[in-house]
Structure 1
Amino acid sequence: MESDYQSLFQVRLANYDDIPAIMNITREAFVKYQQMSGVEKLAALEESYNDVKKDIDTKVVLLALSDGEPVGSVRVEVFPDKTAYLSRFAVKVTSQNNGIGKSIMNLVDKIMVKKGVTQIQLHTGSKITSLIRFYYGRGFYIDSTDKSRGYVRALLIKEYQKKDC
């Protein structure tokens, strides 16, 4: 049967039913991020159900599923000036390095282009080589660094080019 050969992997817009899964994925991934960055306090680890609900209402929130199980998520806020900010990008530790993050980012790119976004930004720990490599591979570059959160964070930017008509 042909349906046996369909992809077991999907990325879609999140809904309220996904909030507990998003919170679990975010918590797990950001505990690892906390260990890797050496930072003591992360806002991502202090989120409430209502914080995630508000993000679903006001941002593009995506959920990745593998074999029907939630394994990754991301949130993107699109601003009136056609820029965007990506946050809470998280993939379950046991599901990392198998293409889920790339698939999530590919859908983010498609949505941003469709919305006419000219550039997307994010912050990540500048000393976490695996994350910096991942984002470089997705077309981001480091614009600047700061220590405002108690560790060296890099501001990464990806620019979207307008397609020639």
Structure 2
Amino acid sequence: MNYSFIIRKAVESDAEAIHNILKEAFKDYVIRAKIDETVELKTETIEDIKKDLQTKEVFMGLIDNVPTGTIRVAIQDDNTAYISRFGVLPEYHNIGVGKALIKVVDKFLISNQVKKVFLHTASTYKELVTFYYNLGF
């Protein structure tokens, strides 16, 4: 199967696609993690995403020009970084989209001499914990 896969910095016109990716990804996340659906993400608006595009590094993964995943990272004042709003559409799980997004963020952080990176996830979502662990978190 041939397809085009790219990761690029997100731009303001991507905000709606990012919103849709995260909405679908987090529906799956709350089920798999067995957590309450009142995840803070549910209140995030497209305008909130546009604001983050101005203050954080936001990346998108696309397959054949279809937005499939997204991730945000912010470098803190103490030169650590925090990864947030990382999601891949469920139908694109386990084909490398998430891993590629993390690797792009990793390269970005190395180029900015960031030595520590933080993220939060539900410990009850074992597959995701293993995913992060296998990537060095």
TM-score range, shorter-chain basis? over 0.9
Greater share of helix: 2
1:12 aligns with 8
Aligned length in residues: 135
Pairing 1:40–2:32 present:
no
2:121 counterpart SS class: strand
Measured in 1, the distance between the counterparts of 2:27 and 2:43 equals 11
* Structure 1 counterpart of 2:92: 95
Indicate which of 64, 69, 72 corresponds to 1:67.
Answer: 64
The letter of the residue matching 1:24 is N
Structure 1 unaligned residues grouped into runs of 5+? 141-165
Higher strand share: 1
Partners of 1:97 and 1:36 lie apart in 2 by 15
**CA positional deviation for 1:45:** 1.6
Compare CA radii of gyration and give the structure with the larger one. 1
- Does residue 78 (structure 1) correspond to residue 75 (structure 2)? The answer is yes
Cα distance, 1:21 vs structure 2: 0.4
Counterpart of 2:131? 134
Give runs of ≥4 in structure 1 deviating > 2 Å: none
* Residue pair 1:31, 1:45 contacting (<8 A) in 2 also: no
TM-score by length of 2: 0.95
| Residues 62 and 104 in structure 1, CA contact (< 8 A), matched pair in contact too | yes
Q: Secondary structure in 1 aligned to 2:119? A: strand
Could you tell me how far 1:40 is from its partner in structure 2?
2.9
What is the CA deviation profile of residues 79-121 of structure 1, one whole-angstrom value per residue up to 9, with x for unaligned ones?
1211000011000000010000111011000000001111110
Normalising by structure 1, what TM-score? Answer: 0.79
